[in-house]
Chain A
């Protein structure tokens, strides 16, 4: 893992990025990930996916295409699913990031995670963290789901193992449980 702790002499300049140009070398910045504030020292070109995986060791977020076209890297930005490979870490600012590691409460899984297990909605698992993040965001915003809502919310996710039908079943179930 890279050393990303902030050198003391730079800590006070952390807000400098707001106005004047910073970089191209490493820049101090703060990322709020899963309700923990992290100080990083990284180049402006670092994507959020790279910062999460390489600097913070949060490797649950997967990188498939690195071009916004597979959704494996889906995380929440202020509660909304985005592609972490197509966002620069420096562009996140004070917005809150939630990753797959932040979904469970201790040992208690998020209902979507439990439903994925119950419905065997996982094969190789590479696309799964991203799919779970999209599905969990959907369930938070709309507890009374239809199959069309689920298809729309997961339309950006490529799964080469063909788990989508099991994901649909898992989500319908999770929504039934939430309603009762």
Chain B
């Protein structure tokens, strides 16, 4: 790990604009040589230290956001929803009674990602902004397209953990498991730039497919701080769930995960549905055909099976990951039925 300058501002105004680059931009090079002039933000530091220890990132400075108290709060929002500070840890989310009762999919994913030690430190903001786990991307010896190189190594290589949808030029899957649940819950992000300028953007719109920009996963701009994740109030009749499948029963990133949120009229038809697939595409993947099939129906086992089948519409597996298709189909069916049956 390189040596760096360190600062630890105490409020958002002091910190906004201090980072000179994003981590994504700092990792792009023509030659494969690391840039050493950027200043970047750090929250829990779990992904940042990993990248630095692997020699993939060598910032001149780190601005620590972890000592900003305003960023670590879960609060009721004016619209009846919830405002989650970007520094709220995964452990805090999993233990929060409001999150558990009103946004079960998020409590599930926060309590089941990584290990207890990591959840204690990893923040939800950093989780959404972590860089891909593609092993070519994480290897210093592979100067792939996402790092400014010429090629993607995944298509002709070891692609068993890669995408089955939307892999246009880059087949990585989005690394954030929380993102699957948060997209299903309709989350928005509040971003604060230099001089306190704020913008609010839907999480789903914030993420970028490789065909839009192959070198960054999202629309964060240099110096901009992700200040909060905003969850709209769920209808009292809606419920959500997140389930995942690991390769082994361990703390590693899942090979497939699914979040489902359904609003169902009491004893009746489904009014609104979100079916989101994680570890399936370079962004959380919305299974539109499955959603369309659910809305208006009284959901039983047959409807769930049909929706699960529809969720794979348009899938284009690579040479080594067709095994993901039946896993996703099973996860979607189980998640839908679990929401409907309330458990």
Contacts and interface: CB of A to CB of B under 8 A. Distances in A.
Contacts of A87: 45, 121
Nearest to B2: A45
A148 interface: no
A155 B115 contact: yes
Nearest to A153: B116
B85 interface: no
Contact of B120 (A23, A25, A82, A155): A82
B206 interface: no
Nearest to B121: A82
Contacts of A54: none
20 contacts: A20-B7, A21-B5, A23-B4, A23-B5, A24-B4, A24-B5, A44-B5, A44-B6, A47-B49, A67-B50, A68-B46, A74-B117, A86-B49, A88-B49, A153-B116, A155-B115, A155-B116, A155-B250, A156-B115, A156-B118
A43 B5 CA distance: 9
Contacts of A45: 1-4
A72 B262 CA distance: 41
B111 to A, nearest CB: 9
- Counting chain B CB atoms within 10 Å of each CB, the highest count among A18, A20, A80, A86 belongs to A86
* Most A C-beta atoms less than 10 A away, residue of B2, B6, B50, B121: B6
A99 to B, nearest CB: 14
A134 B120 CA distance: 12
A83 B251 CA distance: 14
B321 to A, nearest CB: 23
A82 B114 CA distance: 12
B45 A91 contact: yes
B6 A27 contact: yes
A88 B114 CA distance: 19
Interface residues of B, number: 30
A87 B42 CA distance: 11
Interface string B263-300: 00000000000000000000000000000000000000
Contacts, number: 93
A43 B8 contact: no
Among A21, A81, A153, the most chain B Cβ lie within 10 Å of the Cβ of A21
A90 interface: yes
Interface of B: 1-10, 45-46, 49-50, 53, 61-62, 64, 66-67, 91, 114-118, 120-121, 250-251
Contact of A21 (B7, B114, B117): B7
Contacts of A1: none
A102 interface: no
A66 B50 CA distance: 9
Contact of B251 (A19, A21, A134, A155): A155
Contacts of A2: none
A152 interface: yes
B117 A82 contact: yes
B205 to A, nearest CB: 31
Interface string A83-100: 100111011010000000
Give the top 10 A-B pairs by smallest Cβ distance, nearest first: A156-B115, A24-B3, A44-B6, A21-B7, A21-B5, A83-B117, A23-B5, A23-B6, A45-B1, A82-B120
A161 interface: no
B116 A91 contact: no
A19 B18 CA distance: 12
Nearest to B119: A156
Contacts of B4: 23-24, 44-45
Contact of A18 (B2, B10, B50, B61): B10
Given A44-B62, A45-B1, A155-B251, A90 B6 contact: yes
A68 B46 CA distance: 8
Contact of B9 (A19, A24, A27, A67): A19
Chain A CB within 10 Å, residue with most, of B49, B50, B64, B121: B49
A68 B116 contact: no
